[in-house]
Amino acid sequence: MKVGYYPGCALHGSSNDYEQSLVACLGALDVKLKEVDGWICCGATAAHSLNSKLSMALPARNLAMAEKEGFRELFAPCPLCSMQLLKVREAVKDEAVRQELSEVVEAEIRGDAQVINLIQLFLNVGLDRLKAAVKQPLDSVTAACYYGCLLLRPPKIAKFDDCEQPTSMETLLAAVGAKTVDWSYKTECCGAGMTMASEDTVLNLAYKILDNAREHGATSLVVACPMCHINLDMKQAAVERRYGKQFNMTVYYLSDLVGLALGLSREQLGIDRHFVTEPMMGNH
């Protein structure tokens, strides 16, 4: 299976462990990622907060570039990138908008490439295939699946899972033998792109998420978003200092856990490059 791949800036920056994990894990499932040639930043929160035109034009350029290469499916592992692409796809259903945007970005946008997130990509591979490929069932993992915001919201555009009670990650992890917990903060926000701009906000929100996950018996968190990972993993030590509580909560990318189940090593998946790197053990 060959899939168009829009990495986005985070995966080529400080979240390059996420890309390493994806390439290793998906490679083991014979999914080849073909990076979109000439992609640019989607503008992220800065664009949609400060300039509505840019927030459409930047992802529109990327969608057009992907479609030019003939990708029917475009995999965007960052939920914000993914959401910005989906919004463009929705907007260009209006022919006048489609033409105008195409002119602005100097490339024809058709809007026919399917934009998919990591969970959808795994579901496309198929639960049966995943189950069959498991070499190392993850029975020592008790994870809280953390979806955050943009995989699910707004539901009219995301059109994915249940935006209040999602279960797709739990289904995937059950297929590879991991236990998951029921908890209350699955879809609460971690503060996303405010990591630098408003650190207090992020520490407060990340604290609530980590605390609730632990209260419900999780020993690790699973995410499918680079910003969630930064706020919960990289900022975890700062959260612990601020709130005087130790979590020592491993934060896995979804592809880390699937990859471990497929028999890949922590080093192959880049788990050793996380900030919280306790070896995976049941600590109950």
Partner 1 sequence: MSNPSVSSSAESLGNPRFVLPPGTGQIKKAETSSAAEVELIEILARTKIAHCYQCGKCTAGCPVAEQMEMGPTKLIRFMQIGSVDKALRSNSIWQCVSCLTCSSRCPKEVDCAALMDALRELSLQQGKVSPQAQQIVTFQRAFLDNIRRNGRLNEFDLIARFKSEVAIGTRQLSFLFKDASLALQLRKRKKLHFGKKSSADLDVVARIFARCVEDES
From the CB of 137, what's the least distance to partner 1, in Å? 29
24 vs 173 by CB, closer to partner 1: 24
> Cβ neighbours of residue 101 under 8 Å, at least 6 residues apart?
56, 57, 60, 88, 91, 92, 109
Helices (H) then strands (E): counts for the chain: 16, 8
Question: CA–CA separation, 35 vs 8, rounded Å?
Answer: 10
From the CB of 10, what's the least distance to partner 1, in Å? 8
96 vs 132 by CB, closer to partner 1: 96
DSSP labels, 178-197: -EE---S-TT----TTHHHH
Which residues here bind partner 1, judged by CB under 8 A?
9-10, 12-17, 37-41, 43-58, 61, 91, 94, 96-97, 100-101, 104-106, 149-150, 152-156, 163, 187-189, 191-192, 194, 196-198, 201, 205, 234, 273-275
73 vs 100 by CB, closer to partner 1: 100
- In 3-state terms, what secondary structure has residue 251? strand
From the CB of 210, what's the least distance to partner 1, in Å? 14
From the CB of 80, what's the least distance to partner 1, in Å? 9
From the CB of 126, what's the least distance to partner 1, in Å? 29
Give strand pairing partners of 89. Answer: none
Give strand pairing partners of 223. Answer: 253
12 vs 34 by CB, closer to partner 1: 12
From the CB of 88, what's the least distance to partner 1, in Å? 10
User: Residue written as tokens 């602005």?
Assistant: 104
Question: CA–CA separation, 78 vs 83, rounded Å?
Answer: 9
User: Residue written as tokens 């800065």?
Assistant: 46
153 vs 214 by CB, closer to partner 1: 153
116 vs 189 by CB, closer to partner 1: 189
From the CB of 9, what's the least distance to partner 1, in Å? 4
Question: CA–CA separation, 36 vs 20, rounded Å?
Answer: 17
Residue 116 identity (one-letter amino acid): I
SS3 per-residue string spanning 143-165: EEECCCCCCCCCHHHHCCCCCCC
Q: Are 41 and 72 in contact (CB under 8 A)?
A: no
